[in-house]
Amino acid sequence: MSPSSDTDPQKPQTRPYGDRPVVRLRPKGDARAIRHGFPWVYADELVTDRRTQGLEPGALAVLEDGERRPLGLVTVNTKSKIIARMLDRDPLAVIDQAWFATRIAKALALREKLHDTAHYRLVHAEADGLPGIVIDRFGDAVVVQPNAAWAEAHLEPLVAALVQVTGVSTVIKNGSGRSRVLEGLAEEMVVVQGGVSAPVPVPMNGAVYMADLMGGQKTGLFYDQRPNHAFAARMAKGARVLDVFSHVGGFGLAALAGGAVSALAVDASAAALGLAEEGARAAGFSGFSTRQGDAFDVMEMLAAEGAQFDLVICDPPAFAPAKPALEAGLRAYERVARGAAALVAPGGYLGLCSCSHAADLQAFRNASSRGIGRAGRRSQLIHTGFAGPDHPMLPHLAESAYLKALFFRLD
**Catalytic annotation present for 353:** no
Q: How many helices (H) and strands (E) does the chain have?
A: 12, 19
Write the single-letter amino acid at 339. G
Neighbours of 297 (CB within 10 A): 12
CA atoms in the 13 A half-sphere facing the CB of 382: 18
* Residue of 208, 260, 355, 358 with catalytic role: 355
Angle between helix axes 326-341 and 361-374 (nearest 10 degrees) is 40
List, as one string, the DSSP characters of 164-214. HHH--SEEEEEE-SHHHHHTTPPPEEEEEES--SSPEEEEETTEEEEE-TT
Burial 240-254 (b: 16+ CB within 10 A, else e): bbbbbbbbbbbbbbb
Neighbours of 53 (CB within 10 A): 9
Neighbours of 350 (CB within 10 A): 26
Contact 100, 157 (CB under 8 A): yes
CA 167 to CA 164: how far, in whole Å? 6
Residues recognised as catalytic:
355
